[in-house]
Amino acid sequence: MSVADSSLLSQLFERFAIEPSTEALRSAWLAKPHGSAADRVYRDALEWLERKLWSGGVQPELLALYQALFREFEQQRDADSDDRRHHFVVVIPVADRPEHLRSCLASLLKLCQLYRYGSYRDGRFTHVSVLLADDSEQHANQRSHREIAADFTARGLTTEYFGADAQRELFARLPVSSRSALQRMLGSGEPLHHKGASITRNLAYLHLASRLPAQPRQLFYCIDSDQEFRVRIDTAQGERNLYALNYLHQLDRIFTTTDAQVLTGKVVGDPPVSPAVMAGNFLEDVLGFLLRMAQLDVSQACQFHQPNGDKVSDASYHDMADLFGFKSEVARYDYHCTLDGAHDHAACFADFAVRLNRFFDGEHPTRHSYYEPAELHAGIQSARTIYTGNYIFRPSALRFGIPFASLKLRMAGPVMGRLIKAEIGPGFVSVNLPMLHKRTVAGLGQSEFRPGIEHGNDRIDLCGEFERQFFGDVMLFTVEQLTAQGYPARSLSNATIEQSLITTEGRMFELYSAKQVQILNKLERLESLFADPAQWWQAHPELVDARADFARFIANMQHNFGGGACGYSSIAEPAKRERRHAQMLSALCDLAADQDSWQRVLESLSPTGAMQAERTAR
């Protein structure tokens, strides 16, 4: 089939015949182009259709045409014997999350089916594969993950299972001296479960290095198991999750036409931020919900379906967003009821109450982010933060292993991003290709597994998460100070590094303590309002379960953020602070040595010349 025979292009031009902007496209199509000229017609038509797709809100029938036109374009290109597009290896660390993992891989397979990036031969997508790095503790989940990998391989998405045995074998291949030198990046080698996502990723990167082809055209696409290749949009009819972005095609174009070495996207849906630093703003929203409910009649038709006028940004989730250079202009966000059909405020109250305790697993019921369409290539920007669940890099960038991994601190991505920016500057970019983030599993109402969060019958404990977040913030802002002085390329004295660490730790402790005072004030107001016997929600027997959910939420907030909360105690206790201080100081002082050891191990594992060949292949 030639481009002139395209029924889809014909359909496009007939549908929009009266629009002057299609005249040049139509003329190029009627010229019956071949080869690269035909590719240009398809690209121009797809770019035009993409702009049309998002003008005035997404239109489902145009989305279907957009996807079909991409499939036809791929069919045209499949006959090209010199297809030099990139092969994507999607790297997914997973720990005891079979349901999350299945949804994640299902979304990738669906993306491949809808857009058909690369060749599809013998029932297999040839330009996309998956490396599944398992960090599970439960043998049943290890078995489930292995079976899921085999299932998706059988369905056309080649998925390699990189489990504990393969990780142990890789670790054993390293010289003893290298294992010792890289303990902060790889751990001790045992146990090989719940090592943490950063160590698991680093082991996966070594595995990738060991099998680099001599002439690579590869990109490594790192995501998390609780993400999907979709975007969430907000419409008058409510939220919708759509396969509206051809991630692989767009990334191939960016890495083909630019010198980017590392690229990061973001997420939409649930926040990438820990509940440890969202409690203040969520309490503000819960207070707002109850205050508004108190002014409404219980049997009145639900008034919580108004259009969402509050735009959620990077500043919206975080209690200390100003630390990152953001300023939130909205202090309180409204809840937007998710119930369909006719219902009253009692039903809305109960629906909101069910969602409250999901907050402790990272879901934010009042602040969801949505995809905001923009011209992609013009929007490429210099970056400073890695979103570890959505970043892509060339094989030569395997040299950027995740530092300080054995410390298991949060904020590993922002720390890594500052260090990458310090080294390659404009080679590190961000782009508007977010992935859908879903913290909880619908059937559970919580995450299958999340380190640092412990679930009891009614109690949810964030102590471990809180401690990892605090010291992760200390590490991040210490690194930010040090890179401003030329670190790590410029050698700084241990005394200089330690002084920066001490100063940052003191500042962060003051900020966390001040935020706790604000949280306690909001908690007191919330408890008083909720328990007020004059409020209608206290008088209705059908709301007994909803009241219990509210009471459990307040109790868990008190447990995790109130006076004597374990998280605050853990960051205030001198012995624990001294231990963390010593760990971080040693890691910062030895970073250059760790990076050198990492590079030597990469070179020892990589086939001769493979990483150098990649630098000249683009």
Domain harbouring 178, CATH code: 3.90.550.10
Say if 574 falls within a structural domain. Answer: no
Say if 560 falls within a structural domain. Answer: no
Query: Is it true that the peptide bond before 403 is cis, omega within 30 degrees of 0?
Result: no
Confidence of residue 615 (pLDDT cuts 50, 70, 90): very low
For residues 258 and 380, state if they share a domain: yes
For residues 223 and 153, state if they share a domain: yes
Q: What mean pLDDT comes out for the span 81-108?
A: 93
Using the predicted structure, report yes or no on whether residue 610 has a pLDDT greater than 90: no
Using the predicted structure, report yes or no on whether residue 252 has a pLDDT greater than 90: yes
pLDDT of residue 510: 95
Query: Is it true that the peptide bond before 216 is cis, omega within 30 degrees of 0?
Result: no
DSSP E strand boundaries for 49-126: 87-94, 120-121, 124-125
Q: Which domain holds residue 43?
A: 3-77
For residues 181 and 263, state if they share a domain: yes
How many of the other CB atoms lie within 10 Å of CB of 555? 16
pLDDT of residue 617: 44
Closest CA to 591 of 421, 395, 419, 468: 419
Tell which of 40, 55, 77 closes a domain.
77
pLDDT of residue 30: 76
Alpha helices of 135-212 — where are they, by DSSP H? 139-154, 164-173, 176-181, 183-186, 197-209
Q: What mean pLDDT comes out for the span 542-554?
A: 96
The model's pLDDT over 493-529, given as tens digits with 9 standing for 90+, comes to 999 999 999 999 999 999 999 999 999 999 999 999 9
Closest CA to 431 of 314, 262, 267, 263: 263
3 or 267, higher pLDDT:
267
For residues 142 and 228, state if they share a domain: yes
Structure-block tokens of residue 419: 């260090």
Structure-block tokens of residue 190: 């045992």
Q: What mean pLDDT comes out for the span 427-440?
A: 95
Identify the three-state secondary structure at position 106: helix
Distance CA 306, CA 309 (A): 8
DSSP 444: T
Say if 109 falls within a structural domain. Answer: yes
pTM for this entry = 0.93
Comparing 197-201, 590-594, 605-609, the range with the smallest average pLDDT is 605-609
Q: How far is CA 534 from the centre of its chain?
A: 43
Using the predicted structure, report yes or no on whether residue 215 has a pLDDT greater than 90: no
Q: Is residue 287 packed enough to be buried (19+ CB in 10 Å), middle (13-18) or exposed (0-12)?
A: middle
56 or 560, higher pLDDT:
560
Beta bridge partners of 339: none
Structure-block tokens of residue 388: 């570890």
For residues 209 and 132, state if they share a domain: yes
Comparing 5-9, 145-149, 230-234, 351-355, the range with the smallest average pLDDT is 5-9
Structure-block tokens of residue 46: 């797809």
pLDDT of residue 12: 84
Distance CA 231, CA 249 (A): 16
Radius of gyration of the chain (CA): 26
Say if 446 falls within a structural domain. Answer: yes
Using the predicted structure, report yes or no on whether residue 298 has a pLDDT greater than 70: yes
Confidence of residue 16 (pLDDT cuts 50, 70, 90): confident
pLDDT of residue 484: 96
Residue 540: φ, ψ to 5°: -100, 120
Full strand arrangement of the beta sheet holding 87-94: 158-162, 128-134, 87-94, 218-223, 390-393, 262-264, 428-430, 381-382
Which secondary-structure segment (H or E) carries 51? helix 35-54
How many of the other CB atoms lie within 10 Å of CB of 296? 17
Using the predicted structure, report yes or no on whether residue 489 has a pLDDT greater than 80: yes
Average confidence score pLDDT of the chain: 90
Q: How far is CA 236 from CA 231, 304, 336, 406, in A?
A: 16, 13, 12, 46
Distance CA 522, CA 535 (A): 18
The contacts of residue 287 (CB under 8 Å, 6+ apart) are 332, 522, 525, 526, 529
Q: What mean pLDDT comes out for the span 221-232?
A: 96
Token pair 């328990």 in the structure block, residue: 531
Q: What mean pLDDT comes out for the span 189-202?
A: 90
Closest CA to 220 of 133, 146, 145: 133
For residues 71 and 195, state if they share a domain: no
pLDDT of residue 357: 94
The model's pLDDT over 566-591, given as tens digits with 9 standing for 90+, comes to 999 999 999 999 999 999 999 999 99
Confidence of residue 343 (pLDDT cuts 50, 70, 90): very high
The contacts of residue 103 (CB under 8 Å, 6+ apart) are 228, 438
Beta bridge partners of 87: 218
Closest CA to 290 of 520, 522, 563, 545: 522
Q: What mean pLDDT comes out for the span 299-306?
A: 90
The contacts of residue 464 (CB under 8 Å, 6+ apart) are 451, 452, 453, 454
pLDDT of residue 128: 96
pLDDT of residue 404: 96
Say if 484 falls within a structural domain. Answer: no
DSSP 85: P
Q: 231-235 and 267-269: which strand pairing?
A: unpaired
For residues 99 and 18, state if they share a domain: no
Confidence of residue 7 (pLDDT cuts 50, 70, 90): confident
Q: What mean pLDDT comes out for the span 174-199?
A: 90
Identify the three-state secondary structure at position 412: helix
Comparing 22-26, 104-108, 161-165, 564-568, the range with the smallest average pLDDT is 22-26
The model's pLDDT over 463-475, given as tens digits with 9 standing for 90+, comes to 999 999 999 999 9
Number of domains making up the chain? 2
Tell which of 53, 77, 101 closes a domain.
77
The contacts of residue 383 (CB under 8 Å, 6+ apart) are 262, 263, 264, 417, 421, 428, 429, 430
DSSP 458: S
Identify the three-state secondary structure at position 227: strand
The model's pLDDT over 305-337, given as tens digits with 9 standing for 90+, comes to 876 666 666 667 888 878 877 776 667 889 989
Percent of the chain with pLDDT strictly greater than 70: 94
For residues 125 and 213, state if they share a domain: yes
Say if 167 falls within a structural domain. Answer: yes
Identify the three-state secondary structure at position 331: coil
CA triple 370-56-236, angle to 5 deg: 55
Say if 535 falls within a structural domain. Answer: no
Comparing 306-315, 390-399, 409-418, the range with the smallest average pLDDT is 306-315
For residues 169 and 241, state if they share a domain: yes
Residues 392 and 222 sit within 8 Å (Cβ to Cβ): yes
Residues 448 and 100 sit within 8 Å (Cβ to Cβ): yes
Using the predicted structure, report yes or no on whether residue 427 has a pLDDT greater than 80: yes
pLDDT of residue 609: 53
Residue environment code for 235-258, b if the CB has 16+ CB neighbours within 10 A, otherwise e: eeeeeebebbbbbbbbbbbbbeeb
Using the predicted structure, report yes or no on whether residue 618 has a pLDDT greater than 80: no
Cα torsion at 17, 22, 27, 33 (round to 10°)?
A: -120
Residues 497 and 589 sit within 8 Å (Cβ to Cβ): yes
Using the predicted structure, report yes or no on whether residue 122 has a pLDDT greater than 60: yes
Residues 319 and 280 sit within 8 Å (Cβ to Cβ): yes
For residues 220 and 96, state if they share a domain: yes
Structure-block tokens of residue 187: 């751990």
Using the predicted structure, report yes or no on whether residue 6 has a pLDDT greater than 80: no
Distance CA 66, CA 72 (A): 10
Distance CA 307, CA 68 (A): 31
Comparing 19-28, 126-135, 293-302, the range with the smallest average pLDDT is 19-28
Say if 66 falls within a structural domain. Answer: yes
Structure-block tokens of residue 608: 């001769």
For residues 35 and 153, state if they share a domain: no
Tell which of 400, 416, 451 closes a domain.
451
DSSP E strand boundaries for 375-521: 381-382, 390-393, 428-430, 435-437, 454-455, 460-461
Distance CA 98, CA 140 (A): 10
DSSP 369: B
pLDDT of residue 80: 63
Confidence of residue 39 (pLDDT cuts 50, 70, 90): confident
For residues 97 and 59, state if they share a domain: no
pLDDT of residue 83: 75
